[in-house]
Amino acid sequence: MTDHRTDIYPSIWRIIGVILAGLLLVMGCYLMTIHPRARIDKLFGYFGIVLFSLVVILGFVWLILRAMRKPLARIYDDRLEYLIPAKMRYEIIPFLHVEMFVTVKVGAKLIRADYPDGSGKNTGIVNTLVSVEKVCDMLNERLEEFWSQHGLK
């Protein structure tokens, strides 16, 4: 049996959008620090510069990963592997233990693997980088194929 693999890459346009939005917000926060209306504006400005600079850096990291052809997730016939960028390694979720994949909103929309015992595990697949609904549908299709091939459910 061949193991079919589908790679999920982050959308280049979404990454560029995140970088540009982050740069715009950094500039706005910078303007708050040089033209404050109150003392608190300066504090918020510096805090915003740090926060949105991290967003821009994260966007560039995703851009580099995309250029290196490092997929955000790899869907096989029997498992899902999703990238944990901080560790630069893939976490594996075997289909044997998964009941279904669902989209959940935890700050941002992401994909969660639900298990038969009622527990679940959030993946690193987030809607700011890809269309989570499409990826979730693809995962559930592969999951059903896996179950039918192994006589499960």
Residue 135: partners with Cβ closer than 8 Å, 6 or more residues away: 8, 73, 111, 125
pLDDT score at 153: 57
* 117: its two tokens: 């015992």
What is the b/e burial string over 20-34, where b = at least 16 CB atoms within 10 angstroms of the residue's CB?
eebeebbeebeebbe
Q: Enter the tokens of residue 33.
A: 């620090």
Task: Give the count of alpha carbons within 13 A of 134, CB side only.
Answer: 9
Q: Give the largest CA-CA distance in the chain.
A: 68
Contact 93, 112 (CB under 8 A): no
Q: What is the pLDDT along the chain (153 residues), one digit of tens a residue?
A: 456 888 988 888 989 999 999 999 999 999 999 988 888 889 999 999 999 999 999 899 889 888 888 888 899 988 899 888 778 889 999 988 889 999 888 877 888 888 888 888 888 777 767 788 888 898 999 999 888 887 765
Q: What is the pTM of this model?
A: 0.74
Residue 8 φ then ψ, to 5° = -110, 115
146 near 78, Cβ under 8 Å?
yes
Distances 89 to 71, 118, 124, 132 between C-alpha atoms, Å: 11, 27, 12, 21
CATH of 74-150, one of 3.30.1220.10, 3.40.1010.10, 2.40.50.140, 2.30.29.30: 2.30.29.30
